Structure 1
Amino acid sequence: MIRLLLVDDHPVVRAGYQRLLEQDGEMQVVGQAGDVDSACALHARHEPDLTITDLSLPGSGGLELIRRLRERHGGQARLLVFSMHDSEMLVRRALELGARGFVTKASAPECLIEAVSRAMAGGRYLSPDLPARLLHEPGRAAEPAFDALTQREFEIFRLLACGSSLADCARALHLSPKTVSNHQSVIKEKLGLSTSAAMAHLALRHGLIPVA
């Protein structure tokens, strides 16, 4: 039996995933979470075989969840991304952080089942609507300037571009406001940006944040 943790901020969506995944009797959902902190707590409690997470979560988001779980549990933390986002840059970042695969919500239901099986067998999976080359070149960004950002800086960039305040970012990432402010200055320098509006425009252009 494959034990799963589902992470998505919509309870109805999680219920649908659970029905899909448990229908053949080979998988069991042992926990559900709607945010990063709850997901980390449930992962520690249940030690699932695999965590399936969306990227759009309240606060710090799915990339931060991947980073935290991989940092705390190493290779024991298997993760899949199941998200409406299909930006190549987000796919690459998720794979760099250690995700075993990336399935878009536009995919056929059987793609998620196949992704779970592939991940549990030690492989990696991308849904058919994503370029297969992303599995082989995860470090190459569509915007060269983004290569200069660390994973932490990239996550802070996304939060700030979405309109989060420095205090919001600090709370979401368990950092001090001063640390986030310092990161913001470095991010702007690396990307050659001077305003928050420019950060938001760049993020929108590359599909890194949802369109309002």
Structure 2
Amino acid sequence: MVYFVSKENQNLLWNVIHNNSTIQIFLKNMSTDDKNHWFRSIIEHFYKKYGPVDLSFYQLKTINKEVIIYIIQYVQKQNNQIQNQSLSDNFQQIQTPAYEKNNREEEYISQFEMRQKEYNQMLEKKAPDEINFSENIEKDTPIQDMKALMKKHIEERDMDISWQNQNPKLTINEEQVSLETNTIDEIKHQIKNEKRKISWEDEIDYHEKYITLKENYSMLYEDYLQMKMNKII
């Protein structure tokens, strides 16, 4: 019964019964000392009933349920007796709601079981989960040929160094870029002027050819007229 009389278990029972409105009304007019004495007397009653024996968690849970039912029935009985007394008995009549055995008992037993479960989880010490290394062991295969592996590593490194030597990093000279840009603009301007010059030269050459052809035609035409005149004569 060590767990039953422990501070944690008594606090658990105390919190559960205080959620019952009927018990709250019953304890309302009692002093703190009277409440503690009343509760301790109930714990003592069940301790004597079962004796100083070691309890399993299941046995502790069963006894706690019995304690809650006992307290609810005891309080209900006291309230019924007070309701049946006359006003001349010098006892204050306490009005309590009707006791619904099935619903109320089931409700608070359910609350108790939830708190009991939390209490058990605090007491239990779970062993840490076993670490499984099987997956890593299966994937970790031994190196068959260390010499070949080192040779391959050296070849790959040499290839990287060779590639870097053949492909040096590109560096940009801003001054050179600026000069080249100006040169390109000058070349574009020069090409434009050359095109314009060629166009003018073509026009001049065409005009000169036209004049030459015209003069040649005139000369031929004069020769023709001269020949024609000679035939007539």
Which structure has more strand as a fraction of its residues?
A: 1
What TM-score do the two structures reach when normalised by structure 2? 0.19
Larger RCO (alpha carbons 8 Å, 6+ apart)? 2
What TM-score do the two structures reach when normalised by structure 1? 0.20
Q: Which one has the largest radius of gyration? A: 2
Which structure has more helix as a fraction of its residues?
A: 2
